A and B are shown apart, each in its own frame.
Chain A
Amino acid sequence: MARPSTQQLMSLYEDMLRVRFFEEKIDQELFPAGLIRGLTHLYVGQEATGAGVIRALEPQDYVLSTHRGHGHCLLRGSDPARIYAEILGRRDGLCRGKGGSMHLCDMETNFVGCNPVVGANLPIGAGLAFACKYLNNGRLTAVFFGDGALNTGAFHESANLASLWKLPVFMVCENNRYAISVSVERASAVIDLADRAAAYGMWHETVDGMRVWDVWEAASRAAEVCRSHQQPVLLVCNTYRFVGHYTRDTLRYRPPDEARDEFREHDPIHLAERQLADDCAVDLRQLVDLRERVKREIDQAAEAAKQIAPPPAQWALEDVYVEQG
């Protein structure tokens, strides 16, 4: 494997830091303060998969995400203050407060959106890929989903059709080992999830989803196959969420020490720091400075979002239908 480029690894590291700080702010401050309604699913621990994959895409490519999509939206380049504003239900949120945490969408970055109906984004992604092929516009469509979605009929129908019709859809399975509380071992008849791709003759690869450089390299290979050969690919990223499925999760389904041990051994941010120090000879001071800068940026975004007013009630009846143009 090629020695990482310092500049690129630093970019990936910065991406991961931004997501980590963004989510920790929710977990430690915004949610406990009662500023967030309903459900919020955090991406803490899975940053390397989103960062590595999204850096391997082009700006014109479409990205579809899941209920755990803050990170993907942020990595795609949305303004963190507008993401926070949406999560807080404020008027300047990405979706003017109509979507919230589970329905982020930003077409300025071609982030088609989060989709909290597990598996539902796979046929939509295949359809987008169909449109791209039909219009011959060279775009590919990346669809993120978890290990749970692999057990939906939507995955199988989409995988079959995408392979049959040779659609440029990049399927990214973020295997964080639990579908809410049910582990992969208790939910899937095959443990090597990439085996699912074989049934549809689909190009596939499995990567350590905690190592951002490895993810980026694998995702770059997958994107190249997908784009230049106009065919679907499945990249399984083995990862782990250090936090609960959602902010109120009791975590009674996991061994008590599991998350602590995983964090100690496989925290993607720590692994990237070690790689930067060992392979790229980056000075520790530089990393500390970067952390402080990104942290400040996130703090400011959250503060800015908190100052934004909620949407006026009458907005509730707008956008139910698109006006004939």
Chain B
Amino acid sequence: MSSRGEQAQPGGAQQSPAPRVREVAYALAVRTALREEMLRDERVFLMGEDIAVYGGVYGATRGLLREFGEKRVRDTPISEAAIAGMAVGAAIGGLRPVAEIMYCDFLSIALDAIANQAAKLSYMSAGQLAVPLVIRTCAGGHGYAAQHSQSLEMWVTHIPGLKVVTPGTCADARGLLKSAIRDPNPVVVIEHKALYQTTGPMPAEETLEPIGVAQVAREGGDVTLVSWSAMAGVCLEAAQELAAEGIEAEVIDLRTLLPADFDAVVKSVRKTGRLVVAHEAVTYCGFGAEVVAQLTERAWGDLKAPPVRVGSRFAPIPFAEPLESYVTAGKQEVMDRVRTCVKG
């Protein structure tokens, strides 16, 4: 694990002096990564719906058309199968495509190219082909109802050959995206739509965040609270409030789900003896199940209490605010489950 912005190895927890930072919006952090990588490597190009002239529905690609031109920043028709499939071909042909699928709900339309093609072509060809592409998409509820709000990371974490990252901070939105673009494998970057306009610290210097390394977002000795994406921030807030009650939660932001830094989770639970995993996806068959399974297989003897999952209820995401709040896991659920886990 690493403190924010530091290069580190899986499971190697330590804190280091904070680097020089500035406060930016998450969307700007994404744009910074894209811009830096496009300046560094002429093979990098962007394609997707409304990313060029409009600058992306969340502004993450604003200004890039003007800076890099139509050759490298390309609006596409509404053709998700072709966006993802062409990214596969362009990657085989020597480019570094960054393709945007506007909402992860629409991965359904692009999934053949991602799961059957990009993920498997290197393997099936015994290494003759490489598919270094990035799919940028976003998850999470924000008043958009059932078909624009899901957290579908499990659709892609189940596929050998893919990498999946879920940045929950501005530093990671830049640093993980940069690593994804340089990775020789297909990487799905799942951003969070509720974060784009929020601000947070980002290192002033160009920083790469390693894929596959978790981060201790907060230290604590009573319970290990594992999360990722926007929910990691929710867990941090929950941990601050729980501290007032005398519960010290260690918050681990996994940041990357495939590969995931389970070593960091095991190491923390060896200290705390308790595990709560929180995510915005539906609890049933959510990635939390994998975290709990890995932990119980490797550190059963260290557990003082049964591991706990916190996730959304088993329903599509509804529209009206009280309905969405009821279905979607949030700070209150996290705090309740942590209390139960710690106090029994």
Residues on A lying within 8 angstroms of B by beta carbon are 62, 94-96, 98-99, 103, 105-107, 112-113, 115, 117, 120, 122-132, 134-135, 141, 153-154, 157-158, 160-161, 164-165, 318-325
Given A123-B81, A124-B85, A126-B82, verify A95-B126 contact (CB < 8 Å).
Answer: yes
Interface stretch of the complex, out of B112-120, B194-202, B223-231: B112-120
Contact A161 B82 (CB under 8 A): yes
Compute how far the CA of A122 lies from the CA of B125 in the bound complex, rounded to whole angstroms. Answer: 18
Please give me the residue from chain A that is nearest to B161 by CB atom.
A320
Given A128-B90, A130-B90, A131-B94, verify A120-B85 contact (CB < 8 Å).
Answer: yes
Please give me the residue from chain B that is nearest to A129 by CB atom.
B89
Compute how far the CA of A122 lies from the CA of B113 in the bound complex, rounded to whole angstroms. Answer: 11
Using Cβ atoms and an 8 Å threshold, which residues of chain A touch B277?
none
Please give me the residue from chain A that is nearest to B94 by CB atom.
A131
Contact B94 A124 (CB under 8 A): no
Contact A113 B121 (CB under 8 A): yes
Given A126-B82, A161-B76, verify A131-B184 contact (CB < 8 Å).
Answer: no
Contact A128 B93 (CB under 8 A): yes
> How far does the Cβ of A255 sit from chain B's closest Cβ, in whole Å?
34
Contact B86 A123 (CB under 8 A): yes
Given A107-B128, A160-B79, verify A320-B123 contact (CB < 8 Å).
Answer: yes
Whether, in the assembled complex, B124 has its beta carbon less than 8 Å from a beta carbon of chain A, the answer is yes
Please give me the residue from chain A that is nearest to B89 by CB atom.
A127
> How far does the Cβ of B99 sit from chain A's closest Cβ, in whole Å?
10
- 1/0 per residue, CB under 8 A from A, across B62-101: the answer is 0000000001001011010110111111111111010000
Compute how far the CA of A115 lies from the CA of B123 in the bound complex, rounded to whole angstroms. Answer: 14
Contact A322 B88 (CB under 8 A): no
Using Cβ atoms and an 8 Å threshold, which residues of chain A touch B128?
95, 105-107
> How far does the Cβ of A226 sit from chain B's closest Cβ, in whole Å?
16
Using Cβ atoms and an 8 Å threshold, which residues of chain B touch A62?
93
Please give me the residue from chain B that is nearest to A154 by CB atom.
B81
Compute how far the CA of A130 lies from the CA of B127 in the bound complex, rounded to whole angstroms. Answer: 23
Compute how far the CA of A164 lies from the CA of B160 in the bound complex, rounded to whole angstroms. Answer: 34
Given A98-B123, A103-B125, A105-B129, verify A130-B89 contact (CB < 8 Å).
Answer: yes
Contact B184 A125 (CB under 8 A): no
Compute how far the CA of A60 lies from the CA of B150 in the bound complex, rounded to whole angstroms. Answer: 44
Contact A324 B88 (CB under 8 A): no
> How far does the Cβ of A176 sit from chain B's closest Cβ, in whole Å?
23
List 14 A–B pairs whose Cβ atoms lie within 8 Å, in order of A's numbering. A98-B124, A105-B128, A107-B129, A117-B112, A120-B85, A123-B81, A124-B113, A130-B93, A131-B93, A154-B82, A158-B82, A161-B76, A319-B122, A322-B122
* Most chain B CB atoms below 10 A, which of A96, A123, A129, A320: A123
- 6 interchain residue pairs of minimum CB distance: A127-B89, A123-B85, A131-B93, A127-B86, A157-B82, A157-B79
Compute how far the CA of A129 lies from the CA of B125 in the bound complex, rounded to whole angstroms. Answer: 20
Compute how far the CA of A105 lies from the CA of B85 in the bound complex, rounded to whole angstroms. Answer: 18
Contact A325 B90 (CB under 8 A): no
Using Cβ atoms and an 8 Å threshold, which residues of chain B touch A132?
93
Whether, in the assembled complex, B149 has its beta carbon less than 8 Å from a beta carbon of chain A, the answer is no
Compute how far the CA of A98 lies from the CA of B45 in the bound complex, rounded to whole angstroms. Answer: 31
Using Cβ atoms and an 8 Å threshold, which residues of chain A touch B82?
123, 126, 154, 157-158, 160-161
Contact A325 B184 (CB under 8 A): yes
Using Cβ atoms and an 8 Å threshold, which residues of chain B touch A96?
126
Whether, in the assembled complex, B268 has its beta carbon less than 8 Å from a beta carbon of chain A, the answer is no
> How far does the Cβ of B179 sit from chain A's closest Cβ, in whole Å?
10
Please give me the residue from chain A that is nearest to B162 by CB atom.
A321
> How far does the Cβ of B150 sit from chain A's closest Cβ, in whole Å?
22
Compute how far the CA of A103 lies from the CA of B117 in the bound complex, rounded to whole angstroms. Answer: 11
Contact of A120 among B79, B92, B112, B163 (CB under 8 A): B112
Whether, in the assembled complex, B183 has its beta carbon less than 8 Å from a beta carbon of chain A, the answer is yes
Compute how far the CA of A160 lies from the CA of B85 in the bound complex, rounded to whole angstroms. Answer: 14
Given contacts A94-B126, A153-B81, A322-B127, 20 further A-B contacts (CB under 8 A): A62-B93, A98-B124, A99-B126, A107-B125, A107-B129, A113-B125, A122-B85, A127-B85, A130-B89, A130-B90, A131-B92, A134-B95, A154-B81, A157-B79, A158-B82, A158-B85, A161-B76, A161-B79, A319-B127, A321-B163
Compute how far the CA of A38 lies from the CA of B84 in the bound complex, rounded to whole angstroms. Answer: 29
Contact B129 A112 (CB under 8 A): yes
Please give me the residue from chain B that is nearest to A164 by CB atom.
B77
> How far does the Cβ of A282 sit from chain B's closest Cβ, in whole Å?
39
> How far does the Cβ of B257 sit from chain A's closest Cβ, in whole Å?
15
* Most chain A CB atoms below 10 A, which of B90, B95, B117, B185: B90
Contact A321 B122 (CB under 8 A): yes
* Most chain A CB atoms below 10 A, which of B82, B113, B116: B82
> How far does the Cβ of A96 sit from chain B's closest Cβ, in whole Å?
4
Contact A123 B88 (CB under 8 A): yes
Using Cβ atoms and an 8 Å threshold, which residues of chain A touch B121?
105, 113
